[in-house]
Amino acid sequence: MTDIIQLLPDAVANQIAAGEVIQRPASAVKELLENAIDAGSTQIEVFVKDSGKTLLQIVDNGCGMSATDARMSFERHATSKIRSAHDLFSIRTMGFRGEALASIAAVAQVELKTRRHDDEVGTLIRIEASEVKDQEPVSTPVGTSFSVKNLFYNIPARRNFLKSNPVETRHIIDEFERVALANCQVAMSLHQNGMEVFRLPVGNLRQRIVNIYGTNYNERLVPVQEDTMMMKVQGFVGKPEFAKKSRGEQFFFVNNRFIKDHYLHHAVANAFDELLPKDSYPSYWIYLEIDPSKIDVNIHPTKTEIKFEDERAVYAIIRAAVKRSLGQYSVSPTLDFDKERAFDVPYSDQFKPVNKPGVTINTSYNPFERERESKPIQTAGWEKLYEGLRNEPPAVTTDLPATELPLEQALNHPTSIVFDGPFQLSNAVIVVQLSGAGMMMIDQQSAHERILFERFLRHSENQVGTQHDMFPVTLQFTAQDALVITELQEELRNFGFDLRDFGRNSFVLHGRPDMIEKGTEKETLEKIIEAYTHFQSVQASDVHKQMATSLARSLSVKRGRKLSTLEMRRLVDDLLKCKEPGIGIDGKSCSWMLTADEILSKLKR
């Protein structure tokens, strides 16, 4: 029998490696940016065309390469970062595997121009599908220019798996932001289809965050600083009131390398315990400096995961550092143990005479006599309420606290009730009589969401009414949000938004849906964007429903808002006209019945 095990050709091996390292255009951007950082660059420019499918170009002013090094850089496992296995435990550079350039060259048409400071001319290399087509001297600036053209041109199946241009561009921006946030000492810029998306000057971390996300982020940041013998923690966390429904703005960096770690994320979330609403996520930009021998960065092809020698200690330090910062900057209550334990006496009262306290004794008090309750529990109010179900109702007043109570507690609450038409329970539930059958309880927020959702779906094809303003408003967004708006511009127009691109992540708003109050347009759009990015895994055909859902949740009446009788009646009428009046847009019931028998059973106990 013949032998069947053979060595793979280099071209095939490189394509297999590309499947691990280069999954999409953003993967190539990440690898090339990290190489530029390792080259000691102080300025990096990124040019993208057609979301990286046609062209990716990264230009830096780093150390450059000799002609021999330029050619060797495309060989598998050729690297200048490590020399022995021992070096794997002291890695401080971004790249070290030596697979990135070989993988990129296997699935694209690559052009490299590079020159060192001491060389008079540089080197030009052209490679297609791992095959060197040309190598020659060329006049080029100091540094390296790396162009990747027609990515996956020789693997049509992989190219067909790429998403739409806006989605791929968002992934590129994600990678760009991660590298930019880890290297504030490097000036960086990003251009997409000839338009400038980012221009980030050299600065500190706070300035870099503000330059990426907008000036309004300056007031949202809480500094985090902790220095221990094991590691150093620094960075920022966002204030709880600015928490979001998605996990977008959450960054961990270890020795300036971006990582993903759910365990460490839990440490930050735990520090925010009881400070955040349900299903909200804090923003954070946390940087860890730790001895490279205490971590292993060689456990994942894309180097986004690392292993700590003592993960529990890292967890405890991060949690304590974040919690301490939240307390120190008065975001959460804290105890100050360093403060002198003395009474704080106002200056104006320091020289006033002290009045001697006196004691008053009730001589008629008899401990063996028990006072009778002066205000017995009144159940007659509920009898009157039940009678009101059959007759014309009188007015309703209730002294229930302004928190949502379960129905059983509400019925048992000791209060006097005078009945009148539909009324609110705890400013959250609308109670409506049903002739002779009992009462219907309606969750006002969930019901209004259902009403608006169906209304938007029903009218969006003919466009929701647009209220045009005499003076258009310019709205500024982050790069990511601007991309989402561009992607959803047609849908937004159908829902009543007249938005026009103004460049540099800004849009001019000429008109808004007639249901939206003036001045709340940007807040509404940000909620739509947040909901869309949160559910971006759904099919494109469901974008219409996502938009309707986002708008309904944004514009609905919230629990805790007091409604007039007219508003309650209108809401009930609109709900009953819906196709699915009993189900909220979250799939849960938005109304339920309380029969007359159930009410009477409370009186017979």
pLDDT per residue as tens digits for the range 8-19: 777 677 666 665
Distance CA 129, CA 15 (A): 9
440 domain residue, yes or no? yes
Q: Check residue 25 and give its pLDDT.
A: 93
As a whole number, mean pLDDT of residues 67-96 equals 69
Residue 605 reports pLDDT greater than 90? no
CA distance 230 to 295: 12
Joined tokens for residue 171: 């992934």
- Find where tokens 């735990």 sit: 270
Contacts 24+ apart (CB under 8 A), 66-70: 66/116, 66/119, 66/123, 67/123, 67/135, 67/137, 70/112, 70/114, 70/123, 70/125, 70/135
Q: Are residues 224 and 190 in the same domain?
A: no
For residue 301, pLDDT beyond 90: no
Q: Is 466 exposed, middle or buried (0-12, 13-18, 19+ CB in 10 A)?
A: middle
Average pLDDT over residues 149-160: 88
Q: Among 77, 106, 600, which residue's Cα sits nearest to residue 379?
A: 600
Residues 489 and 592 in one domain: yes
Q: Where are the beta strands (DSSP E) in 21-129?
A: 43-49, 55-60, 109-115, 122-128
In the chain, how long is the greatest CA-to-CA distance? 114
| Model pLDDT for residues 438-450, shown as the tens digit of each residue | 788 899 999 999 9
515-523 contact pairs (CB < 8 A, 24+): 515/452, 515/464, 515/555, 516/467, 516/555, 518/469, 521/473, 521/475, 521/497, 522/475, 523/554
- What is the pLDDT, as a whole number, of residue 251? 94
For residue 345, being part of any structural domain is answered with: no
Co-location of 183 and 249 in the same domain:
no
Query: Could you report the per-residue pLDDT of 395-446, keeping only the tens digit for each?
Result: 333 333 333 333 334 334 433 333 346 888 888 888 887 766 678 889 999 9
Q: Residue 556's pLDDT is what?
A: 84
The pLDDT, as a whole number, for residue 536 is 55
CATH of the domain at 261: 3.30.230.10
pLDDT attached to residue 397: 35
Would the pLDDT of 99 be above 70?
Answer: yes
The mean pLDDT of the chain is 78
Query: Of 254, 256, 258, 96, which Cα lies nearest the Cα of 184?
Result: 256
| Contacts (Cβ under 8 Å, ≥6 apart) of 253 | 181, 182, 235, 259, 285, 286, 287, 288
Residues 185 and 213 in one domain: no
* Separation of alpha carbons 445 and 425, rounded Å: 13
Note if the pTM is more than 0.75.
no
Give me 320's structure tokens: 């304590």
Of 168, 188, 203, the last residue of a domain is 203
The confidence band for 354, taking pLDDT boundaries of 50, 70 and 90, is low
Quick one: tokens of 481? 């949000």
pLDDT value at 39 more than 60: yes
Query: Who has greater pLDDT, 110 or 520?
Result: 110
Over residues 139-163, mean pLDDT:
91
Q: Cα(415)–Cα(160) distance, rounded to whole angstroms?
A: 66
Q: What is the CATH number of the domain that holds 124?
A: 3.30.565.10
Q: Which two tokens stand for residue 219?
A: 């007031």
The position carrying tokens 């008109």 is: 511
Mark which of 288, 312, 328 sits at the end of a domain. Answer: 328
Q: Which domain, by its residues, includes 45?
A: 10-203
**Is the confidence at residue 45, as pLDDT, over 60?**
yes
Question: Looking at the structure, do residues 422 and 570 belong to the same domain, yes or no?
Answer: yes
Looking at the fold, whether 98 and 157 belong to one and the same domain comes out as yes
Nearest one of 521, 548, 516 to 535, comparing CA atoms: 548
Q: Are residues 198 and 213 in the same domain?
A: no
404 and 514, same domain (yes or no):
yes
Whether 390 and 525 map to the same domain: the answer is yes
Kindly indicate the confidence band of residue 29, based on its pLDDT and cuts at 50, 70 and 90: very high
Residue 140 to residues 62, 81, 124, 137, 487, Cα–Cα distance (Å): 13, 25, 9, 9, 38
Q: Is residue 82 part of a domain?
A: yes
Q: Is the pLDDT reported for residue 75 higher than 60? A: yes
The answer to the question of residue 370 being in a domain is no
Strand partners, 132: 127
pLDDT above 90 covers a percentage of the chain that reads 30
Q: Are residues 605 and 459 in the same domain?
A: yes
- The pLDDT, as a whole number, for residue 419 is 36
User: Are 184 and 275 in a shared domain?
Assistant: no
Is 267 within the bounds of a domain?
Answer: yes
- Whole-angstrom CA distances from 503 to 76, 192, 195, 379, 522 are 42, 11, 8, 66, 17
**Burial class of residue 577 (count of CB atoms within 10 Å of its CB; 0-12, 13-18, 19+):** exposed
Residue 4 included in any domain: no
Place of tokens 């080029």: 140
Per-residue pLDDT tens over the stretch 118-137: 999 999 999 998 889 999 99
Is the residue at 349 inside a domain? Answer: no
Q: What are phi and psi of 59, to 5 degrees?
A: -115, 125
CB 176 within 8 A of CB 68: no
> Which has the minimum average pLDDT: 57-61, 308-312, 357-361?
357-361
pLDDT above 70 as % of the chain: 75
Of 253-262, 267-276, 451-460, 568-577, the one with minimum mean pLDDT is 451-460
Helices (H), 389-462: 407-412, 444-459
Name the 3-class secondary structure at 474. Answer: strand
What's residue 580's pLDDT?
86
The rounded distance, in Å, linking the Cα atoms of 404 and 175 is: 44
Contact in structure between 462 and 495 (CB atoms under 8 Å): no
The rounded distance, in Å, linking the Cα atoms of 147 and 125 is 11
Q: Mean pLDDT across the stretch 225-238? A: 93
Q: What is the band of 304 on the pLDDT scale with cuts at 50, 70, 90?
A: confident
pLDDT in the model for residue 61:
94
- pLDDT of 59 over the 70 cut: yes
For residues 503-520, average pLDDT: 80
How many domains is the chain partitioned into structurally? Answer: 3
- 464, part of any domain: yes
Pair 139, 68 in one domain: yes
Out of 271, 306, 328, a domain closes at: 328
Separation of alpha carbons 567 and 561, rounded Å? 11
Rg, C-alpha atoms of the chain: 32
